């Protein structure tokens, strides 16, 4: 299983002690467990659009494709994403909304 960390130091370990995520407090939790591609990504995009810049979304999903979908989308959109864990078939991510361009 390959995990990418966008705009953060790469770590081969996945536990919730990932240094980049230590000071991230989620403002909202999005539960996408049981949903298949592309729904976790679409729901994440909608949820992040509701956040203010710098706020953090915690995403829970059971779709293994979500790891590459969320990391790829976040990189293209300029958001930060930290994959935290993949325990019991549930993938957990933090996504921080990027600053609005021009501010």
Task: Tell me if 5 is assigned to some domain.
Answer: no
Task: Tell me if 41 is assigned to some domain.
Answer: yes
Task: Tell me if 54 is assigned to some domain.
Answer: yes
Task: Catalytic residue, from 4, 35, 37, 42: name it.
Answer: 37
Q: Provide the domain count of the chain.
A: 1
| Domain ranges, residue 92 | 20-96
Task: Tell me if 31 is assigned to some domain.
Answer: yes
Task: Tell me if 12 is assigned to some domain.
Answer: no
What strands, in cross-sheet order, belong to the sheet with 90-96? Answer: 26-32, 56-61, 90-96, 80-87
Is 32 part of the annotated catalytic residue set? no
Q: For 11-64, what is each residue's pLDDT tens digit? A: 333 344 444 556 789 999 999 999 999 999 999 999 999 999 999 999 999 999
Exposed e or buried b for every residue in 11-34, given b needs 16+ CB within 10 A? beebeeebebbeebeebeebebee
pTM of the model: 0.76
Per-residue confidence (pLDDT) for residue 99, from 0 to 100: 85
CATH assignment of the domain containing 75: 3.30.110.40
Task: Tell me if 15 is assigned to some domain.
Answer: no
Task: Tell me if 40 is assigned to some domain.
Answer: yes
Task: Tell me if 71 is assigned to some domain.
Answer: yes
């Amino acid at each position: 299983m390959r995990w990418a960390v966008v705009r953060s130091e790469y770590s081969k370990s996945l536990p919730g002690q990932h240094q980049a995520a230590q000071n991230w407090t989620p403002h909202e939790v999005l539960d996408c467990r049981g949903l298949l591609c592309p729904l976790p990504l679409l729901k994440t995009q909608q949820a992040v659009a509701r956040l203010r810049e710098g706020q953090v979304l915690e995403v829970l999903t059971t779709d293994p494709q979500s790891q590459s979908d969320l990391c790829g989308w976040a990189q293209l959109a300029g958001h930060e994403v930290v994959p935290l864990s993949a325990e019991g078939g549930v993938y957990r991510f933090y996504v921080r909304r990027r600053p609005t361009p021009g501010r």
